[in-house]
Chain A
Amino acid sequence: MNDPLIAATSAAANGLFAQSTRMRVVSENIANADSTGKTAGADPYQRKTVSFESVSDEVSGADLVQVQDISRDEAPFRTEYMPGHPAADAKGYVKMPNVDMLTELSDMREASRSYTANTQVIKQVREIASMTIDLLRTS
């Protein structure tokens, strides 16, 4: 027997977990926005992207979300002219990470909104479950 309310809670809780992983990736990208390589001409930090997939759970019977893959963004790096930098190439240019702050911030806001939506689902489920249990009480 599967309780649909428990299945709904599982789905929402998995959504919370997936969105918090996304939040982690965004924070890694922002934190490493200036991480360069160590040797001359070395590649800097490469932006991470996260993708989700749907998996069906046998226990609850619900389609849960999970992180499919955390991959690297293959977009080209920007370069900056810093001749004194240890990672500068022969012409004095340093490769900087392909992290775009605007993209990261909008991604963060999206993760936050999705997280909030999932917590609202859990709240509602808990409320109607309590209402159902309270049916036994009133007599």
Chain B
Amino acid sequence: MSLNIAMLSPDIGRAAGSSPLSGLAPTAAPQAAPENDFARTMASMASDALNTLKTGETTAMAGMQGKAPLQQVVQAVMQADQALRTVVAVRDKVVGAYQEISRMQM
């Protein structure tokens, strides 16, 4: 799983140049398309999580057929579970932010 916490907010990576988190900053330059950045980040995160889920599923199938060791199946499924939980938590956060904006008084 390559869910990158710093990716969620590129400003964190840029602002904290000296902090240990700066190593987590994405290599892609965020200045290239600032208006598109957040959507792109979310899309790449979702596809990463989807890949992890697919790996978990195929490994589980192989394990049921006796082609993959039990330990590998457990590891893949646990990683998929963790990825899914992370994505759900981030989604809840994003949806909450949208609702916050829509409730704003004009």
| Pairwise interchain contact B75-A13, C-beta atoms closer than 8 A | yes
User: Does A1 sit at the interface, judged by CB under 8 A?
Assistant: yes
Q: Which residues of A contact B78 (CB under 8 A)?
A: 9, 122, 126
Q: Closest B-chain residue to A2, C-beta based?
A: B2
A4 to chain B minimum Cβ distance, whole angstroms, is: 12
B17 adjacent to chain A (CB < 8 Å): no
Say how far A25's CB is from chain B's closest CB, in angstroms: 15
Chain B residues with Cβ under 8 A from A14's Cβ? 71
How near does chain A come to B63, taking the closest CB pair, in angstroms? 13
Given A1-B4, A130-B85, is A6 in contact with B79 using a C-beta cutoff of 8 Å? yes
Interface string of A5-33 (1 = CB under 8 A from B): 01001100110110010000000000000
Please tell me which one of the listed residues A13, A133, A136 contacts residue B82 in the complex, with CB atoms under 8 A apart: A133
Which single residue of chain A is at the shortest CB-CB distance from B73?
Answer: A13
* B67-80 to A contact mask, C-beta < 8 Å, 1/0: 00111101100110
Closest to B8 in A: A136
* Complex partner residue of B86 from A1, A16, A17, A133, CB under 8 angstroms: A133
Contact of B71 among A6, A13, A129, A134 (CB under 8 A): A13
Question: Number of contacting residues on B, CB 8 A?
Answer: 22
Size of A's binding interface in residues, CB under 8 A: 19
Chain B proximity of A59: nearest CB distance (Å): 10
| Interfacial residues of chain B within 63-102, with CB under 8 A of chain A in the complex | 69-72, 74-75, 78-79, 82, 85-86, 89-90, 92-93, 96
A3 within 8 A of B: yes
User: In angstroms, how far is the closest chain B Cβ from the Cβ of A22?
Assistant: 13
Partner of A17, one of B1, B4, B72: B72
Instruction: Enumerate chain A residues within 8 angstroms of B24, measured Cβ to Cβ.
Output: 1
A17 touches B92 (CB 8 A): no
Chain B residue with the shortest CB-CB distance to A5:
B82
Contact check, A136 vs B89: say whether CB atoms are below 8 A apart: yes
The docked-state distance in angstroms from the alpha carbon of A122 to that of B76 is 12
In the complex the two chains form, what is the Cα distance from A139 to B89 in whole Å? 11
Which residue numbers of B lie inside 8 Å of A, CB to CB? 1-4, 23-24, 69-72, 74-75, 78-79, 82, 85-86, 89-90, 92-93, 96
A interface, CB within 8 angstroms of B? 1, 3, 6, 9-10, 13-14, 16-17, 20, 122, 126, 129-130, 133-134, 136-137, 139
